[in-house]
Amino acid sequence: MQEKALDHCFDGYGARDDSERSLVAPSRLQEWITRNAYLGLKSAVFSKDDETLLPEAGSCATCPKRTGFNTFLFSEAREDSCTDAACFNRKLDAHIAQRVAKMPNLAQISHDYRKTDETPVLPRPEYIEVVARKTAKSQDARPEQKLCNHLTPAIYTDGADKGRLVKICANPECKVHFGNRKREEEQRLRWKAGRAAENRKAKQALIFRHRLFSVVLQRVKPQLRCEELCLVTRFVLNSLSHDLVCRLAKRRGLQNGKEPRDWQTTEKVRTLYKKLDAAQLAVLLFESMLLGSVANTNPDRNDDPLAAAATLSKVNVKALRTALAKEEKTKEHKRAKTLQANVKSK
């Protein structure tokens, strides 16, 4: 126990060795002592005189591990305490089991916010502990200070309140205690739906701009000689950022699966001009110049290189957008039919 207490005297977060560890606040150490070394019996919820609660341990009144049993041995203890945390917690568990057996409608609650599978214990988000108090005005009272028709007895199964009996409301339909949560959940769902709609819209815009990009590249015609195009393309490729080079590599199928952003992939892209003819160089030149603007799903109409290139190439943007919308509608219809078929098969 002394070794454990010594470990809790120091805060070791982020320390490389013992020399960098700092002393914790006395209040933190005192809290650890009251929970693990000297557990107060005065506030214990179980009966200290009951020998049948935990037969192998017997009554606390005759236990030599109790500080009050021998005050000369535990002269530093200010109140009667238990020095065996394991035994103390086993008695708490036995006390909870007795209470649950005597009160079938007794709910079991936890301070933990995570729900554990296959357990009747309610996590913290699923209940409100009600402590009714008088306030000057009823509207000033917080939800946990108000009564309702859904109150039920409950017992804590963990934490500092383990074994304590309380009144709770666990009815999610209760307007008194869960009204705010309902409104918060509705707001969260509306925000989530709005974000989903924005993401869908941005995704559709991105798909359209990539399709427009491909059509523009198909209409590029070389006007310079091959040697001149090679020189210009070389300059443009070397001017691209690393991110744009990696995106160009992905479009061209040059990425390495294990290391998609490695220097070898970058070098392949920057030397592409050496292997292409005039027509291919013209396409690569436009592709390199317009690639950065493709990902911009909300461009400035007066400063959109991709839209300008589409106008120069005489691309029917409206027809392209309509065709893309039809494709998306067809895909959604197929997904809906597949989902419906899967549901029927189950």
d(CA 156, CA 63): 26
Tokens coding 192: 């989530």
Provide the pLDDT for residue 77. Answer: 67
Question: What pLDDT does residue 261 have?
Answer: 67
Residues near 289 by beta carbon (within 8 Å), at least 6 away in sequence: 236, 305
Helix (H, G, I), strand (E, B) or coil at 136: coil
- The single-letter DSSP state of residue 272 is G
Strand, helix or coil at 22? strand
DSSP letter at 36 equals H
Q: What is the DSSP string of 70-127?
A: -TTTTTT-SS-EES-HHHHHHHHHHHHHHHHHH-TT-EEE-S-SSPPTT--PBPGGG-
Q: What is the pLDDT of residue 65?
A: 86
The reported pTM is 0.48
pLDDT of amino acid 186? 82
Distance (Å, whole) CA 262 – CA 181: 49
Closest among 154, 178, 150, 174 to 165, alpha carbons compared: 154
User: What is the per-residue pLDDT for 12?
Assistant: 62
Q: Interior CA angle at 129 toward 125 and 132, to 5°?
A: 145
Q: What is the rounded CA–CA span in Å between residue 294 and residue 210?
A: 6
Per-residue pLDDT tens digits for 190-247: 989 999 999 988 888 888 888 888 888 888 777 778 888 888 888 888 888 888 888 8
Decide: 124 and 110 in contact? Cβ < 8 Å: yes
Domain positions in the chain: 203-340
Cα separations (Å) of 336 from 201, 327, 341?
A: 19, 14, 9
- Of the chain, the end-to-end C-alpha distance in Å amounts to 57
Q: What is the dihedral of CA 65, 71, 74, 78, to 10 degrees?
A: 110
Q: Which residues of the chain have pLDDT under 70?
A: 1-3, 6-8, 12-21, 72, 75-77, 117, 133-141, 257-258, 260-261, 346
